[in-house]
Amino acid sequence: MPSESAKKRQAQKKERERQRQKQTSAKKKQKAEEQVNGASGGVDGNECSEGACAAAPGAVTPSEDDAKVKSKPVDKKSAARSCTGVLASHPLSRDIHINRLSITFHGVELLSDTGLELNIGRRYGLVGLNGSGKSTLLDALGNREVPIPPNMDIFHLTEEVAASDMTPLQCVMEVDEERLRLETEAETLMKLSGDMESERLQDIYERLDELDAATAETKAARLLHGLGFSPEMQQRPCKDFSGGWRMRVSLARALYVKPTLLLLDEPTNHLDLDACVWLEEELKKYKRILVMVSHSQDFMNGVCTNVIHLHKNTLVYYRGNYDAYVKTRSELEEHQMKRYNWEKDQMQHMKDYIARFGHGSAKLARQAQSKEKVLAKMVAGGLAEKVVSDKLVQFSFPDCGSVPPPVIMVQNVSFR
C-alpha cells in the first residue's frame, strides 16, 4: 500500500502533468495561429548552426519527427551511408539496443551484422583503428539513420554555433525549444503508455524542473565559465569569436541540453588544459548515455564507464575505463592466442596421424577415422582466430638541424 505522502506526491505529479498539458496545448495553438498569420519567422540566422540543430532533433511524436526527417536536407555524407538494423529494446525504454546493425559508407562495409547496446547511465568510449568507422557510427546515430525511437532525444556535437550577433550566454540559454519538446514528449508518452510512473516521464519532469527559467542563466554561465568564457566574454557577440571558441559554445549547449544520448567526437580538440580538466569533471557526472571518441587516453580514463571497440566490423564491449579495456583485451588476446596454438598443434597432430595410418591395418585405420571425426567436430565447433596486432604506422622525422633566429617574425597583425 502506498503511504500517504507517496499518494500526495503522485497526486501532485498528476496535477503538474495536467497543467503542463494545458500549457502545451495553449502554446501549440498560439504557434499555429502565428503561422497562419505569417508571424512565425522560422529559423533565422541567429539560431544555432545547422549541424548542431539537426543533431539535436526535437524528440516529438513519430509523425512530427518523420516530417522533420523528410524536410531535413540530405547531406553528402549521409547520402553515401547506408544503415540497417533492428530495434531490440522497448520503444519507451531509455536504453538503446539495436540488433543486426550494418553500416556501409561509400560502398565500404564498416559495421556488419553487429549489436549496438547503449544503456542509460553509462559513458562509452568508442575506440578503434583510424578509419574503422567511429565517426561514421556517431554520424549515423546523430542523424537517426539507425532505428532509434523518436522519443529519445539526441545531441550530436558536430559544428560550432553560427557567427551571429547572439552572445554565448543567449546561445546556451535557448531553452524554450527544449521545454516545448519535452512537454510534447510527455504528452505523447502519456497517450502511448498512460503510465505516469514510467522512467522516461520521470526523467522528463526532472529535466523540466531543471529548465526553470529563474536558474537558467546561472547554469548557462557556469558551463561557459568552465569552458573558459569570462563574464565579459559571455556578453560579446558570437561573431567576435574564432571557430574554436564557438565550438566551446556548442559544447556548452550540449551540456546544457543534457540529452538522453550525447554524442561527442573529440570534444577536447578545441580546449586548453583547464577546460579539458573541467570538462572531464563535468562529463564524469553525466547520468544519461554518453558516447564519445577521444584520442586522449587520460580523458577517457576519467570519463568512461565502458568502452566499445570497433574491431573487424563489429562492436565489442568492455566494462571499465580505457586502462581496464587495454588490460582485459590483452588478457583475452593472450588466452585466444594460447587456444589458437593449442588447436593448431592438435589439428596438425591428428592430420599427421590420419595421413600416416589412414590406410594401415584395420585397427589403425579405425583410430585414424575416429581422429578424422574429432577433427571435423573441432572445425564445426569454431576455431580460435589468430590474434593479429593492430596495424601500427611509424613516422620518423629526420633531424632538420637548427634554424637561425628569428624563426618567424610577425609585425602589425591583428586578429578578429
Ligand X SMILES: Nc1ncnc2c1ncn2[C@@H]1O[C@H](COP(=O)(O)OP(=O)(O)OP(=O)(O)O)[C@@H](O)[C@H]1O
* Contacting positions for ligand X (CB under 6 A): 105-106, 110, 128, 130-136
Distance, C-alpha 274 to centroid of its chain? 24
For the bound state, the minimum distance from the C-beta of residue 142 to ligand X, rounded and expressed in Å, comes to 12
SS3 of 188, please?
helix
Question: Do 279 and 267 form a contact (C-beta atoms < 8 A)?
Answer: yes
For the bound state, the minimum distance from the C-beta of residue 310 to ligand X, rounded and expressed in Å, comes to 7
Q: Which is nearer to ligand X, 266 or 343 (CB)?
A: 266
| Residue 84: exposure state from Cβ atoms within 10 A (0-12, 13-18, ≥19) | middle
129: Cα within 13 Å, side-chain hemisphere? 13
Q: Taking the alpha carbons of 136, 141, 143, 144 in that order, is the dihedral positive or negative?
A: positive
Residues in a beta bridge with 84: 102
Question: Do 289 and 93 form a contact (C-beta atoms < 8 A)?
Answer: no
SS3 of 399, please?
coil
Kindly state the cell numbers that stand for 235.
556578453
For the bound state, the minimum distance from the C-beta of residue 147 to ligand X, rounded and expressed in Å, comes to 20
- What DSSP letter does each residue of 110-131 carry, written as one string? EEEEEEEEE-TT-EEEEEE-TT
For the bound state, the minimum distance from the C-beta of residue 264 to ligand X, rounded and expressed in Å, comes to 13
For the bound state, the minimum distance from the C-beta of residue 152 to ligand X, rounded and expressed in Å, comes to 22
Q: Which is nearer to ligand X, 308 or 354 (CB)?
A: 308
For the bound state, the minimum distance from the C-beta of residue 106 to ligand X, rounded and expressed in Å, comes to 4
Torsion of CA 31, 33, 34, 35, to 10 degrees: 90
Report d(CA 263, CA 289) in Å as an integer.
Answer: 9
Pairing of strands 123-128, 306-311: parallel
Report d(CA 315, CA 296) in Å as an integer.
Answer: 20
Q: Which is nearer to ligand X, 81 or 253 (CB)?
A: 81
Q: Which is nearer to ligand X, 138 or 189 (CB)?
A: 138
For the bound state, the minimum distance from the C-beta of residue 269 to ligand X, rounded and expressed in Å, comes to 11
Q: Which is nearer to ligand X, 98 or 127 (CB)?
A: 127
Report d(CA 156, CA 53) in Å as an integer.
Answer: 9
Q: Which is nearer to ligand X, 64 or 75 (CB)?
A: 75
Rounded to 5°, the CA angle 44-45-48 comes to 95
For the bound state, the minimum distance from the C-beta of residue 128 to ligand X, rounded and expressed in Å, comes to 5
Q: Which is nearer to ligand X, 20 or 309 (CB)?
A: 309
For the bound state, the minimum distance from the C-beta of residue 295 to ligand X, rounded and expressed in Å, comes to 8
Contacts of 319 (CB under 8 A, 6+ apart): 305, 306, 328
Question: Do 183 and 23 form a contact (C-beta atoms < 8 A)?
Answer: yes
Q: Which is nearer to ligand X, 135 or 328 (CB)?
A: 135
Q: Which is nearer to ligand X, 105 or 241 (CB)?
A: 105
Q: Which is nearer to ligand X, 173 or 300 (CB)?
A: 300
For the bound state, the minimum distance from the C-beta of residue 290 to ligand X, rounded and expressed in Å, comes to 17
Report d(CA 372, CA 393) in Å as an integer.
Answer: 43
